[in-house]
Structure 1
Amino acid sequence: MTRSDSGTLNARCSCGQVQMRAVGKPIVATACYCASCRKAGALLEALPGAAPVLNSDGSTDFVLFRKDRINCVRGAERLREHRLTPTSKTRRVVATCCNAPMFLEFTSGHWLTLYRQRLDEDARPPLEMRVMTRDRRADVSVMDDVPNYAGHSGKFMLKLIGAWAAMAFRSPEVDYVKGELDGHGT
């Protein structure tokens, strides 16, 4: 991710053929320990040539943005979705050129969640909190360098609601993802 003077953030796949652009301040930067993120992370990391998704403690780092402030500027034809179940409202989107996980979307939500690893290391927003720590692996102790929450904290939810209010309570559709990953669309 590179931040310009205008507040533009860029995220790229591992090979650079897919690029996302976000404008403005992120809603929040968080690490999630939920069982779904851990399961999806393991599945996505198992794709041929895929980049790491999970941290050594099993968490996944994310940066959330309003949907109306992020778009795909290059390589949209390479984006494919993955859902843990056919009816899941959450989809994780991968750049098929190098199997790099790019973002997670709660389809009826107003935010888009970029995988923090897709952002240039020198410009990544700092981690603000850890959520869903009650789901962490039994062998994991969380550090106390940022607030840790067993679920989704009130602060996390207030940030989401504040962003939604700023969007006049709209939930734009992400229309640049082409379909499911072959053999991995469940």
Structure 2
Amino acid sequence: MTTTQLACKCGKVHLDVQGRPFITTECHCNSCREAAQRLGGLPGAPAILADNGGTPFILYRKDRAHITQGAEHLKAFRLTPKSVTRRIVATCCNTPMFLEFKGGHWMSIYAALWPEADRPAMTIRTMTADRNDLPALDDSIPSGALHTAGFYAKLFGVWAAMGFRSPEVIVDGEINA
């Protein structure tokens, strides 16, 4: 199994992923777009939105993604105090690293961490029903108004392969954006 080494913009935080992702997706939900705009407004933050307004993610099993350096720089960002989704940011340079759902067994890693030449291609768009006021998307990849049945089937298959475990990712502290 190959290991891909990813890093924040300044290189202080390293995240290693093993093997291949199980999904590459571009999320168009209101929450991902709002979070991307707010996190993108932090000083020095890299852009994470695609030109079409979606947020590209590369999904890995949590047991195949490891923070190998700089964990002390990671902080959580939530859109609201009750949000079950948290986005993890490397505060050394304000690089969004990944998104995680409470109790989830996968990590949605921001595709912008990969050099563009090495970035896995997106295979599906999700939550396109939230694009009410945005231009129509092209037909280059399949799009689902919500998450598709295939998307959920892959999530379930990965969870079963992990023995129905949901490893915890410990991050101390939160940021506001």
Q: TM-score range with shorter-chain normalisation? A: over 0.9
Q: TM-score, normalised by structure 1?
A: 0.92
Alignment of 1:6-85 (within 5 A): 6-85=1-80
1:113 alignment counterpart: 108
Q: Cα offset for 1:7?
A: 1.8
Q: Secondary structure at the match of 1:10?
A: strand
Report the Cα distance in structure 2 between the residues aligned to 1:18 and 1:11, rounded to whole angstroms: 8
Q: Secondary structure at the match of 2:129?
A: helix
Report the Cα distance in structure 1 between the residues aligned to 2:8 and 2:82, rounded to whole angstroms: 27
For residues 105-134 of structure 1, give each alpha carbon's deviation from its aligned partner in whole angstroms, at most 9, with x where no partner exists.
102110011000011222211111000111
Report the Cα distance in structure 2 between the residues aligned to 1:13 and 1:131, rounded to whole angstroms: 25
Say if 2:109 is the partner of 1:136. Answer: no
Q: Secondary structure at the match of 1:117?
A: helix
1:179 alignment counterpart: 173
Give 5+ residue unaligned stretches, structure 1: 1-5
Report the Cα distance in structure 2 between the residues aligned to 1:32 and 1:139, rounded to whole angstroms: 14
Q: Cα offset for 1:53?
A: 1.5
Q: Secondary structure at the match of 1:148?
A: coil
Report the Cα distance in structure 1 between the residues aligned to 2:81 and 2:124, rounded to whole angstroms: 30
1:3 alignment counterpart: none
**In the alignment, residue 64 of structure 2 is paired with which amino acid?**
R
Give 5+ residue unaligned stretches, structure 2: none
Alignment of 1:139-154 (within 5 A): 139-154=134-149
**In the alignment, residue 106 of structure 2 is paired with which amino acid?**
W
**34-43 vs 119-128, which moves further:** 119-128
2:82 to 64, 84, 87: 87
Q: TM-score, normalised by structure 2?
A: 0.96
For residues 35-71 of structure 1, give each alpha carbon's deviation from its aligned partner in whole angstroms, at most 9, with x where no partner exists.
0001101110010111102122211000011111111
8 Å CA contact 1:58, 1:137 repeated in 2: no
Report the Cα distance in structure 2 between the residues aligned to 1:137 and 1:77, rounded to whole angstroms: 39
**In the alignment, residue 140 of structure 2 is paired with which amino acid?**
D
Report the Cα distance in structure 2 between the residues aligned to 1:46 and 1:126, rounded to whole angstroms: 26
Aligned residues between the structures = 177
8 Å CA contact 1:11, 1:120 repeated in 2: no
Report the Cα distance in structure 2 between the residues aligned to 1:40 and 1:117, rounded to whole angstroms: 15
